[in-house]
Amino acid sequence: MRIITLLSAFLFSLVAGPAFANEEGDEPQWSIAIHGGAGTMDRDKMTPEQQAEYKAALQNALDAGAEVLRNGGTAVDAVKAAITPMEDDPKFNAGRGAVFTWEGANEMDASIMDGKTREAGAITGVSTIRNPILLADAVMKDGRHVFLSGSGAEEFASDAGLERADPEWFATERQKKALERMKARQLSAMDVDHKFGTVGAVVLDTHGNLAAGTSTGGMTGKRWGRIGDSPIIGAGNYADNRSCAVSATGSGEYFIRVGVAQEICTRLSYQYRVEALEAQLSVPRDEKGWPSYIVHASELAWESDIAQKVADEVIAEVVELGGSGGVIVVTPEGHTLFSFNTQGMYRGRADSTGLNEVAIFADE
**Residues between 19 and 58 that touch ligand ASP (CB under 6 A):** 37
- Of 13 and 124, the one with the shorter C-beta distance to ligand ASP is 124
Q: Provide the minimum distance between the beta carbon of 234 and ligand ASP in the complex, in angstroms, as a whole number.
A: 14
- Of 115 and 325, the one with the shorter C-beta distance to ligand ASP is 325
* Edge-to-edge strand list for the sheet holding 244-250: 237-240, 244-250, 325-330, 336-340
CA separation for the pair 38, 6 (Å, rounded): 47
Residue 92 sits in the site that holds ligand ASP (CB under 6 A): no
Q: Provide the minimum distance between the beta carbon of 189 and ligand ASP in the complex, in angstroms, as a whole number.
A: 8
Query: If residue 263 lies in a helix (H) or strand (E), which one and from where to where?
Result: helix 260-281
Active site residue 128: no
- Of 156 and 196, the one with the shorter C-beta distance to ligand ASP is 196
| 72 within 8 A of 105, measured Cβ to Cβ | no
Residue 339 sits in the site that holds ligand ASP (CB under 6 A): no
Contact track, ligand ASP, 190-229, x by CB under 6 A = ------xxx-----------------x-xx--------xx
Q: Which residues contact 150 (CB under 8 A, 6 or more apart)?
A: 124, 125, 126, 225
Q: Provide the minimum distance between the beta carbon of 116 and ligand ASP in the complex, in angstroms, as a whole number.
A: 26
Q: Which residues contact 308 (CB under 8 A, 6 or more apart)?
A: 337, 339
Contact track, ligand ASP, 284-323, x by CB under 6 A = ----------------------------------------
Q: Residue from 175, 215, 249, 324 that binds ligand ASP (CB under 6 A)?
A: 249
Give the 3-state DSSP-derived string for 197-246, with helices as H, strands as E and coil as C: CCEEEEEECCCCCEEEEEEECCCCCECCCCCCCCCCECCCEEEECCCEEE
Q: Provide the minimum distance between the beta carbon of 257 and ligand ASP in the complex, in angstroms, as a whole number.
A: 12
Q: Provide the minimum distance between the beta carbon of 193 and ligand ASP in the complex, in angstroms, as a whole number.
A: 7
Q: Estimate to the nearest angstrom the gap between the alpha carbon of 72 and the chain centroid.
A: 21
Which residue type is seen at 198?
Answer: T
Residue 205: closest CA among 80, 40, 341: 80
| 113 within 8 A of 238, measured Cβ to Cβ | yes
Q: Provide the minimum distance between the beta carbon of 38 and ligand ASP in the complex, in angstroms, as a whole number.
A: 7
**Residues between 318 and 337 that touch ligand ASP (CB under 6 A):** 325
- Of 121 and 325, the one with the shorter C-beta distance to ligand ASP is 325
* Edge-to-edge strand list for the sheet holding 119-126: 147-149, 119-126, 108-114, 210-216, 199-204, 31-39, 344-351, 356-361
* DSSP-based three-state secondary structure for 250: strand
Q: Residue from 250, 259, 323, 348 that binds ligand ASP (CB under 6 A)?
A: 250
Residue 230 sits in the site that holds ligand ASP (CB under 6 A): yes
> Which of the residues 198, 206, 266, 336 is marked catalytic?
198
Count Cβ neighbours within 10 Å for each residue of 322-338 and write b for 16 or more, e otherwise.
Answer: ebbbbbbbbbbbbbbbb
Question: How many residues belong to the site for ligand ASP (CB under 6 A)?
Answer: 16
Q: Which residues bind ligand ASP (CB under 6 A)?
A: 37, 93, 196-198, 216, 218-219, 228-230, 236, 249-250, 252, 325
**Annotated active-site positions, please?**
198
